[in-house]
């Protein structure tokens, strides 16, 4: 027997005639994630098998697999030829430390195997009982489970644990998106949600130095570096909105500051998206969370773009987002106490139900095109994985 990793995919089996394209994308993503570890990857009948790796890298491989979108679950398993004696011998070895209640769960995908699933489970379970007097069978509340997966490739896989993966779709199968990445809790989670749906993302970060510190920008870069573990290499467009904020502050009513700044952000993001072939913009907005996220505000702010504006957290409450941030390891970075550009010139009472006609009247005082062009011309591009 040899140690392997058995992977199961998520929604790909629903893809009909296009299924092969999604399977190929997932295959390539797994290989790319493990590119620094010698291994073999094979695919057969709805499963992938990773083999021929040095066991000292097992924990590293497992960690990487938990971050690959499209993998529903995986198990570190032992592979044997599909003969009953081989299965029995392997089962005895990997259950020798079982104590208390256990059960055997068999999946017989290979219908030519001489015993059906129930018969395999009964026979193997009886053998375990006969040599391990510390165990007893409990089909409903077992402490330990021995899984036996008899596959069509004439191999059988035995394992005792199933680890859940990201799920969703393979990255790169749902187009390219540009994430508006702040240093807060919400936007990196929104990016992760779209990565899980198969979208390859890059980021745009708006900074306001010298009104905010460079540490605020670095926090966004650190967040992008975490997202790279799920997405692959990320490009971050860093755009200063300091001059835009100063211009708005000089000639517009303070209550419209937040609304107008965010309209500028979307205009800039869309211009870059169209230049670099991104198909959608992504934000971390949640309905009603702050003044700029009322339905009226979102309608007026979003009016400046014609690309799809994706808001994967729109129905989330803050605690749901926090829990996801902790799960994907962005939370501790997001709560570092550095102000972002959204705190600059923040009015005491921002308008929460802006009228488009009033916003347009305010914007007449601004040279919008010049401000946007100047911001883009001074833009910097950072690659977190190279820093």
Q: Which residue has the higher pLDDT, 328 or 10?
A: 328
pLDDT of residue 164 exceeding 70, the answer is yes
Average pLDDT of the chain to the nearest whole number: 94
Is 170 part of a structural domain of the chain? no
pLDDT of 265 reads 97
The CATH number given to whatever domain includes residue 84 is: 3.30.2130.30
pLDDT of 341 over the 70 cut: no
Query: How high is the pLDDT of residue 344?
Result: 66
- pLDDT for 154 beyond 90: yes
Same domain, 294 and 339: yes
**What is the reported pLDDT for 343?**
65
Domains in the chain: how many in total? 2
Residue-range definition of the domain harbouring residue 191 = 176-386
Domain end: 133, 164, 195, which one? 164
Tens-place pLDDT, residues 228-260: 999 999 999 999 999 999 999 999 999 999 999
Q: 164, 194, 227 — which closes off a domain? A: 164
282 and 203 in a common domain:
yes
When mean pLDDT is compared over 10-14, 194-198, 350-354, the highest value belongs to 194-198
> Is pLDDT of 368 > 70?
yes
Residues 72 and 200 in one domain: no
Judge contact between 89 and 124, C-beta under 8 A.
Answer: no
Is residue 157 domain-shared with residue 214, that is, in the same domain? Answer: no
pLDDT in tens, 96-111: 999 999 999 999 999 9
For 3, what's the count of Cα atoms within 13 Å in the CB-facing half-sphere? 10
In the block, tokens 């083999």 appear at 51
Q: Is residue 169, in this structure, part of any structural domain at all? A: no
Question: pLDDT class for 215, splitting at 50, 70, 90?
Answer: confident
- On whether residue 258 sits in a domain, the answer given is yes
Asked if 156 and 182 sit in the same domain, the reply is no
Same-domain pairing of 236 and 99: no
Cα within 13 Å of Cα(378), Cβ side: 15
Of 144, 164, 184, the last residue of a domain is 164
Q: Is the pTM of this model over 0.85?
A: yes
Question: What pLDDT does residue 342 have?
Answer: 66
- Domain contains 79: yes
The DSSP line for 232-253 is -S--EEEEE-HHHHHHHHHHS-
Q: Which residue has the tokens 């994706």?
A: 310
Please check whether residues 39 and 182 belong to one and the same domain.
no
Residue 82 lies in a domain: yes
Tokens 């199933």 correspond to 162
Mean per-residue pLDDT, 66-94: 97
Q: Is residue 355 part of a domain?
A: yes
Helix (H) or strand (E) holding 71: strand 71-81
Predicted confidence (pLDDT) at residue 10 exceeds the cutoff of 90: no
Whether residue 212 sits in one domain with residue 80: no
Please give the distance of CA 377 from its chain centroid, rounded to a whole number.
31
CATH number of the domain to which 232 belongs? 3.40.50.620
Same domain, 157 and 180: no
Residue 48 predicted with pLDDT over 70: yes
């Amino acid at each position: 027997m040899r140690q392997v990793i058995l992977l199961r995919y998520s929604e790909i089996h629903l893809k009909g005639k296009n299924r092969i394209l999604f399977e190929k994308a997932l295959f390539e993503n797994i290989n790319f994630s493990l590119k620094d570890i010698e291994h073999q990857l094979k695919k057969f009948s709805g499963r992938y098998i990773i083999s021929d790796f040095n066991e000292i890298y097992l924990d590293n491989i497992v960690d990487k697999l938990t971050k690959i979108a499209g993998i529903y679950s995986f198990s570190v398993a032992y592979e044997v030829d599909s003969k009953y004696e081989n299965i029995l011998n392997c089962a005895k070895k990997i259950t020798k430390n079982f104590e208390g209640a256990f059960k055997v769960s068999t999946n017989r995908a290979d219908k030519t195997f001489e015993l059906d699933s129930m018969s395999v489970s009964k026979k193997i379970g009886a053998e375990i009982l006969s040599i391990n007097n510390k165990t007893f069978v409990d089909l409903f509340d077992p402490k330990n489970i021995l899984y036996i997966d008899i596959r069509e490739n004439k191999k059988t896989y035995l394992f005792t644990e199933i680890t859940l993966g990201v799920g969703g779709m393979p990255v790169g199968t749902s187009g390219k998106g540009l994430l508006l990445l702040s240093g807060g809790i919400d936007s990196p989670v929104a990016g992760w949600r779209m990565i899980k749906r198969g979208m390859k993302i890059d980021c745009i970060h708006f900074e306001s130095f010298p009104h905010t510190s460079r540490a605020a920008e670095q926090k966004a870069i650190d967040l992008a570096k975490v997202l790279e573990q799920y997405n692959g290499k990320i490009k971050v467009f860093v755009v200063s909105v300091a001059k835009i904020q100063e211009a708005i502050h000089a000639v517009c009513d303070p209550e419209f500051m937040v609304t107008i700044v965010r309209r500028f952000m979307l205009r800039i993001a869309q211009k870059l998206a169209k230049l670099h072939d991104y198909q959608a913009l992504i934000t971390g907005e949640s309905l009603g969370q702050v003044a700029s996220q009322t339905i009226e505000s979102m309608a007026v702010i979003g009016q400046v773009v014609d690309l799809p504006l994706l808001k994967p957290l729109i129905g989330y409450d803050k605690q749901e987002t926090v829990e996801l941030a902790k799960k994907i390891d962005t939370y501790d970075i997001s709560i570092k106490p550095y102000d972002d550009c959204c705190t600059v010139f923040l009015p005491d009472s921002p308008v929460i139900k802006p009228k488009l006609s009033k916003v347009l009247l305010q914007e007449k005082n601004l040279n919008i095109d010049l401000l946007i062009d100047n911001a883009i011309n001074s833009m910097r591009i950072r690659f977190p994985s190279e820093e």
